[in-house]
A and B are shown apart, each in its own frame.
Chain A
Amino acid sequence: MTEKDVVERLEEIVGKKNVQADKIGLTSYGYDATLLSGVGMATVFPLSTEHVVKLVKLANEAGFTLIPRGAGTNLSGGTIPDGRCVTVNFSRMKKILDIDTENFVAVVEPGLVNFDLQAELEKKGFYYPPDPASYKATTLGGNLAECSGGPRCFKYGVTRDYILGLEVVLPDGKVIQTGGRNFNSEPGYDLTRILVGSEGTLALLTKIFLRILPLPAAKKTMLAIYNQVEDASQTVSDIVAAGIVPTTLEMMDNLLINTAEDATGAGLPRDAGALLIIEIDGHPEDMDEQVETIAGICKKARVREFKMARTAAEVDQLWLARRVVIGSVARRRPSYSLQDITVPRSMFPNMVSGILQIAKERNLEVGILAHAGDGNMHPLVLFDQRIEEEVERVHLAEKDICALALELGGTLSGEHGIGLLKKKYLTLEFSPVAMACFAKIKNSFDPRHLLNPGKIMNL
Chain B
Amino acid sequence: MGVLNDVYEMLNTCNKCGFCLTACKTYKTDLREPLSPRGRIQLIKKLVDGVIEPDQDYEDAINSCLLCGECAVACPSGVKGNELVLAARRDLKLRHGIKPFAKSFALKTLASPSRLEHGFNFFKGVGKGLLKRIDGLDYFRGVDIRNMPAAEKPFLEQVPEQITVGDPQKKVAFFVGCFLNHSLDGTAHSVVKVLTKNNCDVIIPKDQVCCGLPQYAYGDFESAKANARKTIESFLDRKPDAVLTACASCGSMLRDEYLKLFADEPGYLPRVKEFCAKVFEFSEFVEDQIKLDESKLKAHTPVKVTYHDPCHMARHLKITSQPRQVLKSIPRLQFVEMNEANRCCGASGLVQAFYHQLSTDITRQKTQNIVDSGAEVVATSCPACMLRIQGGLNFAGKQQTVVHVADLLAKAYED
User: Which residues of A line the B interface, CB within 8 A?
Assistant: 20, 22-25, 27-29, 31-34, 45, 71-73, 91-92, 94, 111, 113, 115, 134, 136-138, 262-263, 323-331, 334-336, 385-386
Contact = CB atoms under 8 A, between A and B. Distances in A.
A29 B12 contact: no
A33 B15 contact: yes
A71 B21 contact: yes
Interface residues of B, number: 33
B226 interface: no
- Most A Cβ at <10 Å: residue of B9, B17, B53, B75: B17
B415 interface: no
Interface of B: 9, 12-22, 31-34, 39, 42-43, 46, 51-53, 55, 57-58, 61, 74-79
B61 A24 contact: yes
A328 B77 contact: yes
A28 B39 contact: yes
Contacts of A20: 32, 34
A101 B66 CA distance: 38
Contacts of A331: 13, 77-78
Contacts of A113: 22
A327 B57 contact: no
B40 to A, nearest CB: 9
A330 B15 contact: yes
Contact of A263 (B16, B33, B76): B76
10 contacts: A24-B55, A27-B42, A34-B16, A94-B31, A137-B19, A324-B76, A327-B15, A334-B12, A335-B15, A385-B12
B31 A328 contact: no
Given A24-B34, A33-B15, A327 B75 contact: yes
A372 to B, nearest CB: 21
A45 B17 contact: no
Nearest to B60: A24
B33 A23 contact: no
A262 B78 contact: yes
Contacts of B42: 27-28, 31
Q: Which 8 A-B pairs have the closest CB atoms?
A: A327-B76, A324-B76, A330-B77, A28-B33, A24-B57, A73-B18, A137-B18, A91-B31
B31 A134 contact: no
Contacts of A326: 17, 76
A24 B19 contact: no
A70 to B, nearest CB: 10
- Most A Cβ at <10 Å: residue of B9, B20, B22: B22
Contact of B17 (A73, A111, A115, A335): A73
Given A29-B33, A31-B42, A334-B9, 9 more contacts: A24-B58, A25-B32, A28-B32, A113-B22, A137-B17, A137-B22, A326-B76, A327-B75, A330-B13
A311 B8 CA distance: 40
A331 B2 CA distance: 23
Contacts of B77: 263, 327-331
Given A262-B78, A336-B15, A23 B22 contact: no
A23 B17 contact: no
A138 B79 CA distance: 20
Contacts of B51: 27
B75 A27 contact: no
Given A23-B53, A71-B18, A28 B31 contact: no
A28 B76 contact: no
A85 B392 CA distance: 41
A29 B43 CA distance: 11
A24 B76 CA distance: 25
B32 A45 contact: yes
Nearest to A119: B339
Contact of A334 (B13, B20, B46): B13
